Amino acid sequence: MSVFSVFDVAGSGMSAQMLRLNTVASNLANAETVSGSEGDVYQARHPVFESVLQEAENMDGGNNDVAVVKVREIMQEETVAIPHFRPNHPLANDEGFVYSPNIDAVAEMADMISASRSYQNNVEVLSTTKELLLRTLQLGQG
């Protein structure tokens, strides 16, 4: 594996975690929304990642496989909407109910913290690799 492959691996991890942060933000933003019918309620979304082997070129011209992170799909939860009896609400149905999504804000916040830390770890990997490469170049100057 080429030392430059580290940039591909960490970069793909950063992209995946950024997508994860975006889906968590979307889930949190829609956690308090309401709808007049159960079918129109926002359903939480979560990315599904997979490790994919990608061919990388060595310094000596050979090829090696490195594993990078790809998004397989963004799955949508199939949870039951929470009914609220609010007959005066403009979106209330004929029975006086509005429906909100069944999103656990605490679990979403924990997921956001986890994604943020994973992103930071990948940034640290890139920073350390860059520093090591710069120090290696400085060895040749002395």
pLDDT at position 57: 57
* Model pLDDT for residues 59-78, shown as the tens digit of each residue: 555 567 788 899 999 999 99
Residue 25, pLDDT above cutoff 90: yes
- Residue 39 CA neighbour count, 13 Å, CB half: 1
Query: pTM of the full predicted structure?
Result: 0.83
pLDDT at position 60: 55
Average pLDDT over residues 100-104: 96
Max mean pLDDT among 46-60, 76-90, 128-142 falls in 76-90
Of 83, 86, 100, 128, the residue nearest 43 (C-alpha): 100
pLDDT at position 3: 73
pLDDT at position 62: 57
CB-based contact 81:72 (threshold 8 Å): no
Range with the lowest mean pLDDT among 5-9, 62-66, 107-111? 62-66
| Residue of 94 and 66 predicted with greater confidence | 94
